[in-house]
Amino acid sequence: MIPTAGQPDLFEEWTRSRFTQAGSVDYAWAGQVLDPIDFMAFVGINPGTKHTYIVTGDSGNGLTHGVLAGRLIADQIEGVSNDWGKAVRTVPESQPAESELKDIEDLAPGTGGVLNPTLKAPLAVYKDDVHGSRFFKDGVCVMGSSKAGLSPVDEDGRAFQAEAIKA
């Protein structure tokens, strides 16, 4: 398995084990091509924040979207309309949170809810198909832009995750 985002040391270790003549790392960059469920990039205010703007869901077009995003975000800050905003999503889609979910797959992308209210404590969940991070059942990030795994909700989960990380 090739390590994913947020794990540069593991990636270097993986590379050096296969390419023993590799020299020093002077600069590093990594990215993944992740497609949002609707294939539309998002450029704009990060939901839930007042002054944090993000660009995500580029589907491998980050260089082009970077130029476009610079103009769009500057215009958004200044309150200027920009027709290029029609080429990407500039307003996050939102739907009311659902409650008493039996499975996270019951959620529409970009929505949240309360999963399985029969647990000791309700578990809030959010289905994030814009950023594209994917997690194994032990909470370890296996793909995507997430910088960390998911936090276990109980002692069994902590033990399961610790065992997975050791492997």
| Tens of pLDDT, residues 15-57 | 899 999 999 888 776 666 767 767 788 888 887 788 888 888 8
| 138 contacts 3 by C-beta, under 8 angstroms | no
* pLDDT for res 98: 47
Residues 60 and 34: beta-carbon distance below 8 Å: no
Of 128 and 74, the structure prediction assigns the larger pLDDT to 74
Element housing 134 (H / E): strand 134-135
- Is the pLDDT confidence value at 131 over 70? no
Contact 65/39 with Cβ under 8 angstroms? no
Q: Give a three-class secondary structure readout of 43-95.
A: EEECCCCCCCEEEECCCCCHHHHHHHHHHHHHHHHHCCCCHHHHHCECCCCCC
- The three-class DSSP label of residue 155 is helix
| pTM of the full structure | 0.43
C-alpha 163/C-alpha 90 separation (Å) is: 41
Cβ contact 57:41 at 8 Å: yes
Stretch 80-108: mean pLDDT, rounded? 71
Task: Kindly compute the dihedral angle of the four CA atoms of residues 79, 83, 87, 92, in this order, to the nearest 10 degrees.
Answer: 30
> What pLDDT does residue 158 have?
81
